[in-house]
Structure 1
Amino acid sequence: MNENTIDEDVRYPRTIFIRRHTLITRFTHWLNALCVSFLLLSGLQIFNAHPELYWGHYGADGDPAVLTIGSEGQKDETRGFVRIAGMQFATTGVLGVSNVDGERTPRAFPSWATIPSFQDLAAGRRWHFFFAWLFVFNGFLYLGFSLLSGHFRQDLAPTVRELSLRHLWHEVLDHARLRFPKGEEAKRYNALQKLTYLAVIIVLLPLMVLTGLTMSPGIDAAFPALVDVFGGRQSARTIHFVTASLLALFVVVHIAMVVLSGTWNNMRSMITGRYAIREEGPNS
Structure 2
Amino acid sequence: MKLLANRDGPLVYRQRLATRLTHWVWVVCLFFLLLSGLQIFTARPDLYIGQQSGFAFENRVLSIGAAFDQGELGGVTTVFGRSFDTTGVLGVVEDADGNFQMQTFPGWLTIPSYRDLATGRIVHFFFAWVLVGTLALWLVASLVNRHLTRDILPRGRDLAALPGDIADHARLRLHHRRSYGPLQKLSYFTILIVVLPLMVATGLTMSPGVNAYAPWMLDLFGGRQTARTIHFVLMLALVAFAAIHIAMVLLAGPFNEMRSMVTGWIRIDGKEDER
Structural RMSD (CA):
1.9
By how many angstroms is 1:61 displaced? 5.5
Structure 2 Cα separation of the partners of residues 268 and 115 of structure 1: 31
Paired position in structure 2 for 1:72: 67
The unaligned stretches of length 5 or more in structure 2 are: 1-5
Paired position in structure 1 for 2:45: 51
Paired position in structure 1 for 2:3: none
Deviates more, 1:60-69 or 1:265-274: 60-69
Are 1:94 and 2:89 an aligned pair? yes
CA contact (8 A) 2:40 2:121 kept: yes
The one-letter code sitting in structure 2 at the alignment partner of 1:222 is: Y
Higher RCO (Cα < 8 Å, 6 or more apart): 2
Are 1:254 and 2:248 an aligned pair? no
TM-score normalised by L of structure 1: 0.89
**CA displacement 1:112-158 (0-9 Å, x = unmatched):** 00000001111100000000000000000000001111111111123
TM-score normalised by L of structure 2: 0.92
The unaligned stretches of length 5 or more in structure 1 are: 1-11
The structure-2 alpha-carbon separation of the partners of 1:63 and 1:260, relative to structure 1 and needing over 3 Å to count, comes to farther
Deviates more, 1:100-109 or 1:132-141: 100-109
SS at the partner of 1:66? strand
Are 1:202 and 2:193 an aligned pair? yes
Are 1:130 and 2:126 an aligned pair? yes
**CA displacement 1:170-196 (0-9 Å, x = unmatched):** 1111100000114xxx11100011011
Are 1:105 and 2:101 an aligned pair? yes
CA contact (8 A) 1:58 1:233 kept: yes
CA contact (8 A) 2:7 2:267 kept: no
CA contact (8 A) 1:45 1:116 kept: yes
Structure 1 Cα separation of the partners of residues 74 and 163 of structure 2: 44
The structure-2 alpha-carbon separation of the partners of 1:129 and 1:75, relative to structure 1 and needing over 3 Å to count, comes to farther
2:175 to 181, 192, 197: 181
By how many angstroms is 1:63 displaced? 4.4
Paired position in structure 2 for 1:214: 205
SS at the partner of 2:158? coil
Higher Rg: 1
CA contact (8 A) 2:26 2:134 kept: yes
The structure-2 alpha-carbon separation of the partners of 1:75 and 1:222, relative to structure 1 and needing over 3 Å to count, comes to farther
Map of 1:215-230 to 2, 5 A cutoff? 215-230=206-221
Size of the alignment, in residue pairs?
A: 266
The one-letter code sitting in structure 2 at the alignment partner of 1:90 is: D
By how many angstroms is 1:15 displaced? 3.4
Deviates more, 1:232-241 or 1:153-162: 153-162
